Amino acid sequence: MPRTARGDDAHSFPAPISVPTSASTRPRRGLTALVGTVGACAALAGAPALAASAAASDAVVHVATANELRTALAAAAPGQTIELADGTYVGNFKVTGRAGTASAPVVLRGSAAAVLRTSSGGGNVLHLTDADHWTVQGVTVQHAQKGIMVDSSDHVTIDAVTVHDLDMEGIHFRSSSAYGVVRGSTIHDTGQNLRGMGEGVYVGSANDYSDRSDHVQILDNTIGPLVRGENVDVKEGTTGGRIAGNTFVGDGLTGANYDDSWVDVKGNDYVVEDNVGTATTKSGFQTHQQSPGWGCGTVFRGNHADLTGATGGGRYAIEVTVHDPVTCPVTVTDDNTVVGGDGLVNPGVPVTAAGGGTPTPDPTDEPDPDPTSTPTPEPEHPEECVDTSLAAWSATTVYVGGDRVLLGGSLWQARWWTRGEAPSSAAWGPWQHVALC
């Protein structure tokens, strides 16, 4: 399946600037001596160079211990990069009120061998609060209640990190943290307390419509295995995000708190595209409506769902709980594909041609009759009605494609999975008339 394009250098780290870590070794002291020697005029002429040297010396802060990391986080400034040496950093690391800017973000980066973890397994490994324009890049986060928590912080990018071994969710955007990005990351083995709170990426807050964590993008990640909750859970109150190019593995789904799909969208106007999913207990991608006006406007296109092994009824690649073309539209295009299960989308939801072409007819909608056409006579094959195994249609029986029933003096054959829908001659219905009996 196609993937969202990203730069070739998305996972590369520029060579760090070598900076002395001790204030006594910084160039300011030597420059001061030079000023005293050559006089005030020379000092004034060299002032721009002095400012540039000072700025360069603060551009990269190298840390190698947990205490150095805490100090660097507490003093972080716009345009600064905090560079982690490989090693293990133990603690609950917090950033509060240290924002970057759009042109000068704060970057916390290291390789996957730079491991941040708690000592007790509790709390958050990394917690950003009021910290706009931060980028967290490359590191590993593990062994805690939650991995990375983002509160009241816009434009936070989490890039190429590894998150695992957690009691609850991996990455959480909360408290109106808008325009966040999770990309190129690996999240697995979450929800170890088995309470059904182990989502891979969690956006918003349950039943809190004031949490406007809008426009969050979840791109090109591998989420799973052993994510014991939805791989992505998007809460009511959030709007306008994008979930694209991800690989989902749902072998950790527990069924607690209704987790039975890779992606559950309860917010509005999301785009879910070009994702691939395997191993689920029921469906692939879902929308739900927690209250009127929410769970609407999602567009599903180019996704592939492998539902092999899913159990029970209602196993769809895309399961839409509320669809109204006027008040709560949902778009499902015909370039979504599915293997196994009961079909691409649940009955009643139309499938639209990709690229805005002619929509695929809704199988529950009977087309208007053509008043000028001459109906084709129904074939009559009475010999097909003498099969002693034929039974009358039942509203409670599940039928699959090829099953035959008797109703109203006729023999009918199911086109696909159906239950509770009486056989009729609707052109796009689940039943085909075979013979008059």
pTM given for the model: 0.71
Structure tokens at 351: 């499938």
Helices vs strands, H then E, count in the chain: 4, 36
Name the residue with tokens 């716009």.
78
Structure tokens at 368: 């208007």
Rg (Cα) of the chain, in Å, rounded? 29
pLDDT of residue 129: 98
Task: Give the type of residue at 38.
Answer: V
pLDDT of residue 209: 95
Q: Are 265 and 239 in contact (CB under 8 A)?
A: no
**Element of type H or E holding 50:** helix 47-57
**Element of type H or E holding 67:** helix 66-74
- Digit-by-digit pLDDT tens for the chain (437 residues) are 433 333 333 333 333 333 333 333 333 323 333 233 333 333 334 444 434 333 434 799 999 999 999 999 999 999 999 999 999 999 999 999 999 999 999 999 999 999 999 999 999 999 999 999 999 999 999 999 999 999 999 999 999 999 999 999 999 999 999 999 999 999 999 999 877 689 999 999 999 999 999 999 999 999 999 999 999 999 999 999 999 999 999 999 988 888 999 999 999 999 999 999 999 999 999 999 998 999 999 999 999 999 999 988 899 999 999 999 999 999 999 999 999 999 999 999 999 999 865 454 444 444 444 444 444 444 444 566 777 778 888 888 877 777 888 887 788 887 666 777 888 765 456 778 787 77
**Element of type H or E holding 33:** helix 28-38
DSSP state letter for 17: P
Cα–Cα distance for residue pair 76/122, rounded to 1 Å: 25
Cα–Cα distance for residue pair 80/410, rounded to 1 Å: 77
pLDDT of residue 12: 37
Cα–Cα distance for residue pair 272/113, rounded to 1 Å: 32
Angle, vertex CA 149, rays to CA 146 and CA 152, nearest 5:
155
Task: Give the type of residue at 33.
Answer: A
Query: How many C-beta neighbours within 10 Å does residue 397 have?
Result: 13
Structure tokens at 82: 């905090």
Cα–Cα distance for residue pair 311/243, rounded to 1 Å: 26
In three-state secondary structure terms, 41 is helix
In whole angstroms, how far apart are CA 28 and each of 41, 51, 58, 332?
Answer: 18, 10, 12, 62
pLDDT of residue 428: 55
